[in-house]
Structure 1
Amino acid sequence: MPNLNWVEDVTDSGLEPFRSVRDRDLAGRANLFMVEGEVALRVLVRHGRFPLSALLLSERRVKTLTSLLADLPDQTPVYVVPHHAIEEIVGFKMHRGVLGCGQRILGPSLDATLADLSAHVQRVVLTEAVSNTDNMGAIFRNVAAFGGGAVLLDQQSCDPLYRKAIRVSSGQTLALPFCRGGTVLELVESVRRVGFQVAALTPCEAATPIKEWKNPPDRVALLVGAEGPGLSDAALASVDHRLAIPMATSVDSLNVATSVAVAMHQLQP
């Protein structure tokens, strides 16, 4: 278990990674990312995919996190500050009183990510230009909830290790395999090479209602686009199937993360 560094001086140099978090979220954090809240932090520690480089705690949270602290490497810096000082350090109101600083590692390539998937993985999700961090986090949470094996993002999609995406995902962006990069057409071709058929979720009239899709293939990659523009014409032209989620006539579309949840549930093997 690490030693706890009880800090009274908010200018202490050890607190530098946690300072003015919102401003740094906008500017990028090079090889670091922030994990906010106990739920996401426990996922980070349990899965061990990304190292925890430092931890900031409100003094009120130390007793509640004893079991988690016991699981950390002894050399992990843990800073404990008065509860009232948290806001001054991070730059916003953080009622959870828990903020971890994670270390990015160079992830596997798209082909390597797919090669590492178990042969039992039958559902993955592809994203085209999904740039909203709330939606990205919710997509990961929904994919994990319904047994999906990975999320594959094109370069236009946002970083799933953005602080808000991690929080909304309940830490699933730290657990579920993902790869970000390339074009959506490259994603489509890559998943095809390992036996997936690609099904686009789209409200277009020519799409098959998802409940009427008979005998879907063993391996399905669901492709979704950003709210508003949806999928590009090139992306739609590249897929094997087009699926729609029937809705009341007064509603023209669903939130993209909600669509993923409905489709993943409907297409569970």
Structure 2
Amino acid sequence: MAVIEHVTDPADPRLGDYRDLRDVQLRRHLEAEHGLFLAEGEKVVRRAVEGGHVPRSFLMAPRWLDGLADVLDRSDAPCYVLEERLAEEVTGFHVHRGALASLERRPLPSMDSVLEGVRSVLVLEDVVDHTNVGAIFRSGAALGFEAVLLSPRCADPLYRRAVKVAMGAVFALPWTRLPDWHDALPSLSQRGFTTVALTLADDAVDVTEAVAGVDRLALVLGGEGHGLSERWQAAADRRAVIPMAAGIDSLNVAAASAVACYVAARR
């Protein structure tokens, strides 16, 4: 059972995992150095623990103790309890969801283990916005995709903002980073996947047509603004587009992923 520790000093060194959460660069360094990530909100904290991630500690306002009592009962990690105004001093923002947890990162699994038995996988190239990554995970999980592969430059799915937007879907979908960006799509084709790239290329066909009859599907999405690299567009087995009304050529990558996942789920 978690040990409840009441804290009255926002400078308490025990709260180090929770400091300066709005400073993205600092958090990246701190979280990588200490092998941790943060979950925010009762549902997300619960899903992280239920997903097998080991808590380092919890931080919450008194009113959240009862709602997370069963989670705290299953952990030996300390639970730091402090008033919400003090939590804001520590984190740098108003923790309106009242509860945070610091959890241990696990080593990334191999690509083959992530893809074992999978029929539908999302493949992201250089999606650098944490909100977009979280939204893509959430859409994929909701619409039947079973795994996610990330290029080396993609945003961290375990960054607090991504976890929050995904509503914990990053704990439900197996994911890893691609070991070889250059030949990633041909390697998926060799594993029996049909790679379908969302692109505005001239030869792209309606996404409904592109995914029709596909058994093992790898749906490929590119980064914000520039989209997929020319190499990945050329390497894909098929190129697909979401038809648009006149005057609009594309959707935000998170919105595009939701539409394409919906179509792919009904192939």
TM range (shorter): over 0.9
Aligned to 2:36: 32
Quickly say closer, same or farther: Cα 1:221–1:79, change in 2 above 3 A.
same
Paired amino acid for 2:20: S
Q: Choose from 203, 206, 213 the match for 1:206.
A: 203
Distance in 1 (alpha carbons) for counterparts of 2:14 and 2:30 = 19
The percentage of counterpart residues that share the same residue type is 38
Aligned to 1:92: 93
Aligned to 1:129, the other structure's residue is in SS state: coil
Distance in 2 (alpha carbons) for counterparts of 1:63 and 1:132 = 34
Mapped pair 1:140 → 2:137: yes
Distance in 2 (alpha carbons) for counterparts of 1:130 and 1:109 = 20
Quickly say closer, same or farther: Cα 1:226–1:214, change in 2 above 3 A.
closer
Distance in 1 (alpha carbons) for counterparts of 2:106 and 2:67 = 29
Aligned to 1:226: 223
- 1:107-122 equivalences under 5 Å are 107-114=108-115, 117-118=116-117, 121-122=118-119
> Deviation of residue 28 (structure 1)?
4.2
> Deviation of residue 223 (structure 1)?
0.6
Distance in 2 (alpha carbons) for counterparts of 1:101 and 1:234 = 38
Aligned to 1:2: 2
Distance in 2 (alpha carbons) for counterparts of 1:157 and 1:233 = 17
> Deviation of residue 163 (structure 1)?
0.9
Would the aligned equivalents of 2:128 and 2:224 in 1 still touch at CA under 8 Å?
Answer: no
Q: Is 23-32 or 198-207 further displaced after alignment?
A: 23-32
Would the aligned equivalents of 1:7 and 1:79 in 2 still touch at CA under 8 Å?
Answer: yes
Distance in 2 (alpha carbons) for counterparts of 1:207 and 1:63 = 53
Would the aligned equivalents of 2:210 and 2:238 in 1 still touch at CA under 8 Å?
Answer: no
Q: Deviations over 1:214-258 (max 9, x none)?
A: 742210100110121011111111010011110111211011111
Distance in 2 (alpha carbons) for counterparts of 1:7 and 1:28 = 22
Would the aligned equivalents of 1:131 and 1:158 in 2 still touch at CA under 8 Å?
Answer: yes
Distance in 2 (alpha carbons) for counterparts of 1:215 and 1:13 = 56
Aligned to 2:55: 52
Instruction: Give me the CA root mean square deviation.
Output: 1.7
Mapped pair 1:244 → 2:244: no
Aligned to 1:204, the other structure's residue is in SS state: coil
Aligned to 1:168: 165
Distance in 1 (alpha carbons) for counterparts of 2:224 and 2:43 = 28
Aligned to 1:106: 107
Paired amino acid for 2:133: M
TM (norm. structure 1) is 0.91
Aligned to 2:15, the other structure's residue is in SS state: helix
Aligned to 1:107, the other structure's residue is in SS state: coil
Mapped pair 1:11 → 2:11: yes
- 1:256-267 equivalences under 5 Å are 256-267=253-264
Q: Deviations over 1:160-181 (max 9, x none)?
A: 1111111111011122111114
Paired amino acid for 1:199: V
> Deviation of residue 60 (structure 1)?
2.0
Distance in 2 (alpha carbons) for counterparts of 1:156 and 1:11 = 34
Distance in 1 (alpha carbons) for counterparts of 2:126 and 2:39 = 24
Aligned to 1:262, the other structure's residue is in SS state: helix
Quickly say closer, same or farther: Cα 1:13–1:227, change in 2 above 3 A.
closer
Distance in 1 (alpha carbons) for counterparts of 2:169 and 2:220 = 19
Query: Mind listing any 5+ residue stretches in structure 2 that lack a counterpart?
Result: none
Aligned length: 262
Distance in 1 (alpha carbons) for counterparts of 2:217 and 2:211 = 13
Stretches (4+) displaced over 4 A: none
Distance in 2 (alpha carbons) for counterparts of 1:104 and 1:233 = 33
> Deviation of residue 155 (structure 1)?
0.5
Distance in 2 (alpha carbons) for counterparts of 1:192 and 1:90 = 45
> Deviation of residue 201 (structure 1)?
0.7
Would the aligned equivalents of 2:199 and 2:240 in 1 still touch at CA under 8 Å?
Answer: yes
